Each structure stands twice: as structure tokens, then as C-alpha cells.
Amino acid sequence: MLIKQKGIIIKSVDYGESDKIITILNEHGAKIPLLVRRAKKSNSSLQADTQPFVFGLFIFSRWKGMGTLSSVDVINQNFHLRLDIYESSYASLCVETIDRSIEDDEVSQYSYQLLSFALEKMSEGISAQLMSVIVLLKCMPAFGFNASFNQCAVSGQTEQSALCGYSFKYDGAISEAFLSEDPHAVRLSNKTLYLLYVLQSLPIDKMDGINIKQQLVDEMSELMMMLYREYAGMFFKSQKLINQLRRLDS
């Protein structure tokens, strides 16, 4: 029996000399592993159609466990993400975050919507680094933690302009007046904290015309990596390439 489902490829692993195994996040939010026979052959049309980030209609047979892919009707290959190593690395961070936020047997419609949203915005020219910040923000609860960016964690003060950093000691933003309480607080622009709060609170279907200065995106991105490392003990595989690219730029 053939099954037809829309989905996005979130993993692609070589298997043997000519085959590969892909994992798609289908339109229902389930992860589906599929064997792709002869996908590595140079004359196979499936070689290009089974790369990460490909969005399409997947036709496959499946009984128990892993299915076998028959064909793909590509809707968007997202080829541009493989042309730019920076965009590709942050797009991979988006995919990896969402992949690790749901169990193999879990179904999460929101995860599919979030990944679709991120890839769609990237195809519109929005920075993949910015989209990775949004994905990391939205996935925090799935990893068992959260963060407050809109009030001082020490005093409870909600005046956004007074906030100047993030304190891991107090687990939240901190204002200038109480900065001495945590000399190890991460200094940040109050604009960065405000934007993190807005992006954290705003539903993805309300996010239109996103345009944020690169310096602020860099600050947000760095803090999000630190939050995941501190609160979830996570180091992403894609982060290794991101760190290498940063060192080359510095």
C-alpha cells in the first residue's frame, strides 16, 4: 500500500554503497524514516530530491518500522540553502533543534508548522541566523526550560530600557541598578532583550516583515546558544560549523 504525505527532509544518511536513509517530518508532525534505494547513483533522480531541507510530496510504502521511498514530487528544493555555508549552517541548526525537540514516536503539528515557517521565511530572504533564534525561542519549553527577557529578575522592574543583560545567577534579565549583584551577567543591549521578548511572545503566524540589524541578531544568537548549553546541557552538531565560521571571520 502506497502512502502519500507532504513533508520536509530533516535527515539524510548514507546507507551502504548506493542507498541512503532519510527522515521526513511529515505534515502531521511525525518523523518518518524511509529507505531510498539507489539514491547515490549518479543517474538517479532521487539524488537531488533526497537532500536536507527538501519540501515535497513523498510517496512511500510502509508496513512496520522503516518505509521505502518510491518517489518525490518536489514542491520546494530550498536549493539556495546549500549554496551559502552560513545560511546552510543556521538552517541546519533550525532542523536539528526541531528534530531533537520531539521524540521519534511523538507527533507535533506545531513542530512541522514551525519548520515550514522558518524555511519559508528563509526563501523570502530573511536571515537563517535570525530564523534559528526564533526556532530556539519557540522550542525552549520542549527542552524543559524557559527564560524571561522583559523584567529584572532581581527587582521585578518591567521598564525595558533599564535592562542591560542576562543573569544566569538569577535566571533572567537584569537591570543596570542590580548589575553588581551578578558580575558574571552577560551584557546585552536593551533592544536585544526587548526583541527576544517580542519574538518569544509573538505567534509565528503574526510575524511579518521581520527586519533586525545584524549586530542585534548576533547578540540574540549568542545568548540563545548559552541558554541551551546552561539550562539543557545541549551542544548542537551544527554549532561546531557555526563556531568555525565565526573564528574565520574574527
Residues 6 or more apart from 246 whose CB is under 8 A from it?
Answer: none
Residue 47 pLDDT more than 90?
no
Residue 42 pLDDT more than 70?
no
pLDDT, averaged across the chain: 93
**Cβ pair 220, 133 in contact under 8 A:** yes
* pTM score, whole prediction: 0.93
What is the mean predicted confidence (pLDDT) over 190-204?
A: 96
Residue 3 pLDDT more than 90?
yes
pLDDT, position 250: 59
Q: What's the pLDDT band for 198 if we cut at 50, 70, 90?
A: very high
Percentage of residues in the chain having pLDDT higher than 90: 80
* Cα distance between residue 135 and residue 200, in whole Å: 10
Task: With both helix axes pointing from N to C terminus, report the angle between 128-139 and 190-201 in degrees, rounded to the nearest 10.
Answer: 60
Residue 231 pLDDT more than 70?
yes
pLDDT, position 64: 76
pLDDT, position 43: 63
* Cα distance between residue 134 and residue 228, in whole Å: 13
